[in-house]
Amino acid sequence: MPRYVPRASFTLQNGEDAIALNQKFASLTPDSPCTAGEDACVNSQFAQCVSGKFVLQACAPTLVCAALPLVNSAGTSITCTTSSDRDARIAATGATSAGSSSSSTSAPAASASAKGGNNSGNGSATGSDGNSGSNGTSSGDAQSSLTLLSSVIAQGFENNGQDQPTAGQVASLTSSNNFINFCATVPQLPITNGQQIKTGSCNPAPMGMIPATTNMPSSKFASPMNMDTIPANENFTIQMAISNLDTGFFVNADENYFSAPQQLGKSGNIQGHSHVVIEQLSSISQTQPTDPTKFAFFKGLNDAAQNGMLTATVAGGLPAGAYRLASINTAANHQPALAPIAQHGTLDDMV
């Protein structure tokens, strides 16, 4: 039987507010008076007020712009969605009105005066969760705009995952604006800002492009092999086979660390590079975790693989002892390679 989920105290009000906004948007035209920074839906398009005039941006085909009730907090969001999704979300709140099924096909935007619940915790953000609450640009360039486009809003982020409870499972953080202001919730941490901050930081860059399961990277050491014994204090070469990683892509680690999303090449592989690290062990049977701040050798493998093989020379070798050798496969901005599914074989190797 369906599990009954009680409505929150703000649920009905959210639905009524969404209906009211949709009715308001249905009456707007591109020449309607507006306030700088105000967002609205006009003629089925996202509309942002720039210099006292609405600048329109179309929704994707088959989508309409509409105000939607938030699920986990008080307020509304304005986004591009289907008419059926709009009506279903409003109906789920218990709100009823002819306006709930009106064809208010405006674009993704939120009025700056609308009471949107910003789950990121940034109290300075205004506007509904359909946008960032900041003034955008009028150039039409989405990558320079300060406004979150409704077409990229992940509505699944509003779900904390507890509708399918599992023993020990914790609730996910939720957001109706893609966590764009998440770092404002931890003001004690500096923004990563492309730097390697040893004391900790908060990084606002999106995760980016995720490969298909058929393009997940994998590596395997060809030399030294597992349990090999090699001469101490003599040069030796590490050889590692790599697949499904477009190697040779790396950025300035001192200025662009974690500062851009993961990207895929034409073949669907992650564009990135690898690293090899050697840590000394007390013995080959050591079970105590190692100290990640200490290592005997580290090398970034920045060149493109040759015949599917990456190499690094350990000049002077290593003193006698037991060691483990591991790969660190990453995207171009040095973030660990991201896979599309939780259950997968390791993307790295260790011997």
Reduce the DSSP state of residue 83 to 3 states and report it: helix
Asked if residue 261 lies in contact with residue 207, where contact means CB atoms within 8 angstroms, the answer is yes
Residue 327: what pLDDT? 98
C-alpha 161/C-alpha 12 separation (Å) is: 22
AA letter at 41: C
pTM of the model: 0.63
Query: Of the candidates 160, 178, 159, 179, which has an alpha carbon nearest to the alpha carbon of residue 169?
Result: 160
Q: How many CB atoms lie within 10 A of CB 318?
A: 17
What is the residue-level pLDDT of the chain in tens, covering all 351 positions?
Answer: 444 445 678 889 999 999 999 999 999 998 899 987 788 898 888 777 877 888 887 777 778 888 888 887 788 887 777 888 889 889 989 998 743 333 333 333 333 333 333 333 333 333 333 333 333 333 457 778 888 888 889 999 998 998 887 888 899 999 999 999 999 999 999 999 999 999 999 999 999 999 999 999 999 999 999 999 999 999 999 999 999 999 999 999 999 999 999 999 999 999 999 999 999 999 999 999 999 999 999 999 999 999 999 999 999 999 999 999 999 999 999 999 999 999 999 999 999
Q: Take residue 113 and report the two structure tokens written for it.
A: 């005066």
- Beta bridge partners of residue 298, listed in sequence order: 277
State the CATH class of domain 213-331.
mainly beta
Residue indicated by tokens 């930081």: 201
Q: How many CB atoms lie within 10 A of CB 53?
A: 16
Residue 154: what pLDDT? 92
Domain boundaries, the chain: 11-158, 213-331
Residue 77: what pLDDT? 80
Q: What is the pLDDT of residues 180-208, one digit of tens each?
A: 999 999 999 999 999 999 999 999 999 99
Contacts of 242 (CB under 8 A, 6+ apart): 217, 218, 219, 274, 305, 308, 309, 310, 329
Asked if residue 70 lies in contact with residue 76, where contact means CB atoms within 8 angstroms, the answer is yes
Residue 48: what pLDDT? 78
C-alpha 87/C-alpha 97 separation (Å) is: 11
Dihedral over alpha carbons 284, 288, 292, 294 (to 10 degrees): -60
C-alpha 158/C-alpha 173 separation (Å) is: 8
C-alpha 40/C-alpha 315 separation (Å) is: 63
